[in-house]
Structure 1
Amino acid sequence: MRILLISQYAGSMEMGMEYRPFCLAREWLRSGDRTLIVAGSFSHLRRMNPTGERGGFLREEGVLFRMLPTPAYCGNGVGRARNVGRFLWELSRRCGVLARDFSPDAVICASTHPFDFAAGRQIARQSGAALVFELHDIWPLSLMELHGFSGRHPLMRLIDRAESRAFEQSDGVVSLLPGLPRYLEERGIVPKRLSCIPNGATFPAGRRSADGETLRRFKALKKEYGSLVVYAGGFARANAVGRLAELARQLPRTAFAAMGEGVEKAAVAAAAPENLRLFDPVKPGALLPLLQEADLLWIATENLPLYRYGVSMNKLFDYMGAGRPVVFETPCLENPISICGCGITVPPSDKIETRRAVETLLQLSPAERGVMGERGRRAVAGRYGYPALAKRYRGFLEELVDAKREG
């Protein structure tokens, strides 16, 4: 099967986030399928953006990328809007070429925003391919609840129309969120076919080695305080990282470490007590040994109604794959941590319950914490690993392609 995967911010193990398109394409390649990932040449999510001829091809671990030229930007302002606009323009210019030269059997529109769907639909029509809309976040609801936009804002209305059109006009919908059927039912939208395929752990195969200096500092913290709680992820409002500083102040005899980058990092650093240390992000191959140095892992979401439709955060599955128990602050009660029994879910912003959860896990013996963490590791090795997720996705694509040919 030939799969065209459009994802503006797609990255790789070498470039950095987003990892999902690359991880899926790598598994499909191993199964004999050919995938072309179409992405923008610049993304703020990547550690390293591609150099050389902008708009050219590059290959990593056999996975082929077509990088469309897009301008650099900082933050979420006008610069990012121009970046999106340029990507859509470059993509629309190449619809005919992509349909003719790659001749896909399936086209997946998987950018964070829904605006790539129009070009994806055109490519699918010209090539006779099955068309898939992949939903990462429920827009514009996420923007409205996280950033306070009014539902009457012109951009919110534009996003809403684009998303609704994608639900209705695609041959199939893939959702990272298990609660999407409820959301669609509330809106009166009935897609032709729907499958929930979440994110998975992104640890690369083969030998792994930790960042030596970071691991040394983790060990020193653990030796000094006796126990270590770790957060690894983005310093963004959606991840509620500010609450980690509050938790560290409540537990001054426990060491806390937070790894990552983001717009909220400076604010967290300013509020951090002595027992909370901040670190730079590391490559995926160096992450696992650092997570395994922790006694437990912490992660959170904001207390927003949108999470009633589910969560599928990348780092959630990396945490589970590390085999350490997790404290998860979220209003979403049906989440992978609760389902697998590999940690404790607590209401967000409930300082008493969060502290109690951390203390409860730290009071367990290392062997008892190991048993709990092993439940998550086994789940990632099975249903939440990319080999299993790619196989499910491939089966869904095959159904759509067969139906398209028969229709």
Structure 2
Amino acid sequence: MTSIKKNIWYISKYASPIKYGFGTRHFYLAKEFCRMGYKTIVICSDSSHLLNFPQFKSTYTKEVFDGVDTWWIKTIKYVGAKSIRRMISWIDFELKLFFMDKRKLPRPDVVIVSSLSLFTIINGYFLKKKYKCKLIFEVRDIWPLSITEASNFKASNPLIKLLAWIEKFGYKNADVLVGTMPNLKEHAEKITGNSLQCFCIPQGVDMNLYASPAPLPKGYAEQYIPRDKFIVAYAGSIGRTNSLETIIECAKQLSHNDNIHFLFIGSGDLLSFFKSETESYNNITFAPKVKRGQVQTILAQCDLMYDSVMDLKLYHYGLSRNKWIDYLYSGKPLLASYSGFPSMLNEAKCGQFIPAEDQKSLKKAILYYSALSTEELNDIGLRGKQWLISNRTFDKLALDYRELF
């Protein structure tokens, strides 16, 4: 690495500073790049189905967050993640990014394009050619494989074919690939037939988020969190892809065990269905979704964390879950119903992978952990927290990224 500091453009439609409700990895890494002396620009959209941004008057608006010059592109708004307007918003972003007057920006030495949207890699390619700069393609979700695996879309669908072409184009024309998942290299080389420069820089942890956990709403704990029980907790979306059927059935089979209680915190399309299906079981509680700053307050009152995904080939390439970061920081053991490429739990030795959708093995594991002493549970959970702090802070991940510049 030379001593000359470079200019970095970090482009993602869904980048968001913490000021507007949720800070994404783009801003945390960009802030660290700035601290290293790099001039860092983030280019993003003001349209998201997850967050509400200010109503910008101009098509292009500049703000500065922690030294990071941020250019907002005003794009078509939409509501649902599966709406047609979402894809129209993608195209709107790409067209406005392409025609953006970039003379106000410092000439880039490195352009990082972070999916989603997958279309942005095409803009990244043109920027690479125009400025003779290095192009890094950051993949946070493997599209279109995620769609074909978890939905009814077939590979022959024209939209899927288009996305597959763009994916292959991006893999072949980027100078470096970065995956948040640990085994992207195998997938990308299978798609292209080429040997590729591909590295894993996973999701990170911002320690400031956990500095002062917020209190729960008045009466929340008394109503939803039982005392003197071994609490198995899940916090997150309650939908089809979350594959909670396995633990729900496990909870039903353990309803005779007065010591174990199952707590589900969150909302989603299947919440009403699961509540109706389990209303006669006293060992299952569904609690309302809480703010991000309150999550650790809830997890501190639980004993064993749980997560699950569907049994899909997609996960052969691994994943990097923000949920696992929250869980590990809580200092509690984690069980994950997951049959994909292993990471985090096995590295930190803070829990156990259970084969996806294997209710019998999950039940056995829950009974095992419920029989451990408080000291044994704390030792396991603490290993996870210490590993997280040593390996996943954004200053550490930014150093890994710097090696690619």
Q: Give 2:115's match in structure 1, choosing from 111, 117, 133.
A: 111
Whole-angstrom distance in 1 between the partners of 2:245 and 2:352: 20
User: What residue is the counterpart of 2:99 in the other structure?
Assistant: 93
Instruction: Indicate how the Cα distance of structure 1 residues 358 and 379 shifts in structure 2: closer, same or farther if over 3 A, else same.
Output: same
Whole-angstrom distance in 1 between the partners of 2:112 and 2:253: 46
Matches within 5 A, 1:282-321: 282-283=291-292, 285-321=293-329
Whole-angstrom distance in 2 between the partners of 1:99 and 1:109: 19
Matches within 5 A, 1:182-221: 182-190=186-194, 192-204=196-208, 207-213=211-217, 217-218=220-221, 221=224
The 3-state SS of whatever aligns with 1:157 is: helix
User: What residue is the counterpart of 2:129 in the other structure?
Assistant: 125
Instruction: Indicate how the Cα distance of structure 1 residues 363 and 391 shifts in structure 2: closer, same or farther if over 3 A, else same.
Output: same
- Do residues 63 (structure 1) and 72 (structure 2) align? no
Q: Give 1:361's match in structure 2, choosing from 354, 357, 369.
A: 369
Q: Which has the higher helix share?
A: 1
Query: Do the aligned partners of 1:99 and 1:126 also contact (CA within 8 Å) in 2?
Result: no
Q: By how many angstroms is 1:237 displaced?
A: 2.9
Q: By how many angstroms is 1:130 displaced?
A: 0.9
User: What residue is the counterpart of 1:388 in the other structure?
Assistant: 396
User: What residue is the counterpart of 2:343 in the other structure?
Assistant: 335
Matches within 5 A, 1:8-407: 8-17=13-22, 19-46=24-51, 48-53=52-57, 55-75=60-80, 76-94=82-100, 97-98=101-102, 101-190=105-194, 192-204=196-208, 207-213=211-217, 217-218=220-221, 221-224=224-227, 226-252=229-255, 253=258, 254-273=260-279, 274=282, 275-283=284-292, 285-332=293-340, 334-397=342-405
Query: Do the aligned partners of 2:137 and 2:170 also contact (CA within 8 Å) in 1?
Result: yes
Summarize deviations over 1:365-393 as a string: whole Å, max 9, x none. 11111111111112211122222111101
Q: 228-237 vs 324-333, which deviates more? A: 228-237
Q: By how many angstroms is 1:134 displaced?
A: 0.8
Q: By how many angstroms is 1:353 displaced?
A: 1.1
Q: By how many angstroms is 1:17 displaced?
A: 4.6
Q: By how many angstroms is 1:338 displaced?
A: 2.1
User: Which residue identity lines up with residue 29 of structure 2 in the other structure?
Assistant: L
Whole-angstrom distance in 2 between the partners of 1:70 and 1:93: 13
Instruction: Indicate how the Cα distance of structure 1 residues 241 and 7 shifts in structure 2: closer, same or farther if over 3 A, else same.
Output: farther
Whole-angstrom distance in 1 between the partners of 2:38 and 2:241: 36
Runs of 4+ in 1 over 4 A off after TM superposition: 219-223
The 3-state SS of whatever aligns with 1:204 is: helix
Whole-angstrom distance in 1 between the partners of 2:336 and 2:125: 38
Q: By how many angstroms is 1:203 displaced?
A: 4.6
Q: 315-324 vs 252-261, which deviates more? A: 252-261
The 3-state SS of whatever aligns with 2:332 is: coil
Query: Do the aligned partners of 2:246 and 2:358 also contact (CA within 8 Å) in 1?
Result: no
Instruction: Indicate how the Cα distance of structure 1 residues 237 and 31 shifts in structure 2: closer, same or farther if over 3 A, else same.
Output: farther
The 3-state SS of whatever aligns with 1:138 is: coil
The 3-state SS of whatever aligns with 1:59 is: strand
User: Which residue identity lines up with residue 63 of structure 1 in the other structure?
Assistant: V
Summarize deviations over 1:174-198 as a string: whole Å, max 9, x none. 0112112222343343355221111
Whole-angstrom distance in 1 between the partners of 2:254 and 2:28: 38
Identity %: 26
Q: By how many angstroms is 1:301 displaced?
A: 0.9
Q: By how many angstroms is 1:125 displaced?
A: 2.6
Q: 344-353 vs 32-41, which deviates more? A: 32-41
User: What residue is the counterpart of 2:3 in the other structure?
Assistant: none
Q: By how many angstroms is 1:160 displaced?
A: 0.8
Q: 262-271 vs 126-135, which deviates more? A: 262-271
Q: 152-161 vs 20-29, which deviates more? A: 20-29
Instruction: Indicate how the Cα distance of structure 1 residues 380 and 99 shifts in structure 2: closer, same or farther if over 3 A, else same.
Output: farther
User: Which residue identity lines up with residue 161 of structure 1 in the other structure?
Assistant: W
Whole-angstrom distance in 2 between the partners of 1:241 and 1:16: 27
Instruction: Indicate how the Cα distance of structure 1 residues 53 and 259 shifts in structure 2: closer, same or farther if over 3 A, else same.
Output: farther
User: What residue is the counterpart of 1:7 in the other structure?
Assistant: 12
User: Which residue identity lines up with residue 90 of structure 2 in the other structure?
Assistant: V
Instruction: Indicate how the Cα distance of structure 1 residues 245 and 61 shifts in structure 2: closer, same or farther if over 3 A, else same.
Output: farther
RMSD over equivalenced CA pairs, Å: 2.4
The 3-state SS of whatever aligns with 2:324 is: helix
Instruction: Indicate how the Cα distance of structure 1 residues 242 and 164 shifts in structure 2: closer, same or farther if over 3 A, else same.
Output: same
